[in-house]
Copies of this chain bind each other. A is one copy, B any other.
């Protein structure tokens, strides 16, 4: 089964790789138009998925992610149009030089080939992922959740029609309709066919991919993000950043999970921040020093520092100095996003240099680590590994560079 799908994807990838950027742009625009135009059919398919999920007693949060609405359908179309408007990374020359013997070397950005995406019951990911993969000249194999099967089939049908409409092979977008664990595992091990696997899901999926995948992967891992408020911070900026990073959308990976405060500003800042955060419904879990300042806090345990709450919960620690903050971040951070608030340039430089994370934010909310915010149009994931790409993954992250040599008969 996976060999059949893989072979089709590989064959399609050869055609798509050689298509022009204009053709791929037209494909994306046609996808957007078709998604928007067949919205009612998509909503019907989605209603069947929702009925079944509810009859199986599935929880509210999953059903909410699974649900398509007119606004979400419009969002999928808008996402595809947005990707269509981005510069084409394919074919861009990223370097070129002559070897000692006159051979001319060109380094050129090319598509990866076949990208596989394994994701949960969010049908909008079907369109987002397909759009980014086609936009970057790749074929994609989508493996969604069984709960979203009818929705994904309906969306994929539309996307495939759009491909053939511009003369590209329909198999550029394939849905793996076998939603068993065995099929997912076969996809994770299809080294002959899959050039990149992006898992989009919770810790269970990431662990399964780490354990079972033999194809190259980019891990879209946890975001245990910190905001460190330095002795040199502008405390008004710090307050705005901390509240935004925690409460604006607590369920996402770029939300802050721990607040670190330099003791020089702790007396004032911990009290002010606690007041603002508690007013927003945040539960605070503090170390002893923080609890002394704000007795309402729950005592923080060791595991709190390591937890991505993804909820209105924030761990709070007062640190004696910048170096202790850096040590804390190094120990508990997950390589996603770390923020420092300070007007002290030397402190900012030290933090930026010492903290090895995909994104370091100076006087900015952690919430900006996002493909759209960065100007990538959309993102296929957010890498917390260091290989290939770190942080938000846009079109360029679905390409890599190869070499073309031109000579006149040179030999060694």
Which residues of chain B come closer than 8 Å to A367, judged between CB atoms? 411-412
Q: Across the two chains, which residue of chain B brings its CB closest to A361? A: B405
| Nearest CB in chain B: distance from A103 CB, A | 5
Interface size class of A (residues with CB under 8 A): 35 or more
B358 near A195 with CB under 8 A, answer no
B191 near A210 with CB under 8 A, answer yes
Digitize A246-257: 1 where CB-to-B-CB distance is under 8 Å, 0 elsewhere. 001000000000
Copies of this protein in the assembly total: 2
The answer, yes or no, to whether A360 is at the interface (CB within 8 Å) is: yes
Which residues of chain B come closer than 8 Å to A375, judged between CB atoms? 97, 99-100
| Nearest CB in chain B: distance from A235 CB, A | 11
The answer, yes or no, to whether A404 is at the interface (CB within 8 Å) is: yes
B386 near A390 with CB under 8 A, answer no
Which residues of chain B come closer than 8 Å to A389, judged between CB atoms? 400-401
Within 8 A of B (CB), among A356-405: 356-365, 367-369, 373-375, 385-391, 400-405
At the interface, is chain A mostly helix, strand, loop or mixed? Answer: mixed
The answer, yes or no, to whether A408 is at the interface (CB within 8 Å) is: yes
Within 8 A of B (CB), among A206-236: 210-211, 214, 216-219, 234, 236
B211 near A412 with CB under 8 A, answer no
Q: Interface stretch among A48-56, A237-245, A309-317? A: A237-245
Q: Interface stretch among A72-80, A105-113, A155-163? A: A105-113
User: CA A409 – CA B339 in complex, angstroms?
Assistant: 11
Q: Across the two chains, which residue of chain B brings its CB closest to A245? A: B411
User: CA A410 – CA B369 in complex, angstroms?
Assistant: 13
A408 CB contact (under 8 Å) in B13, B237, B405 = B237
Digitize A173-214: 1 where CB-to-B-CB distance is under 8 Å, 0 elsewhere. 000000000000000000100011000000000000011001
Closest 7 CB pairs of A and B: A237-B409, A364-B407, A244-B411, A216-B387, A388-B388, A365-B411, A367-B412
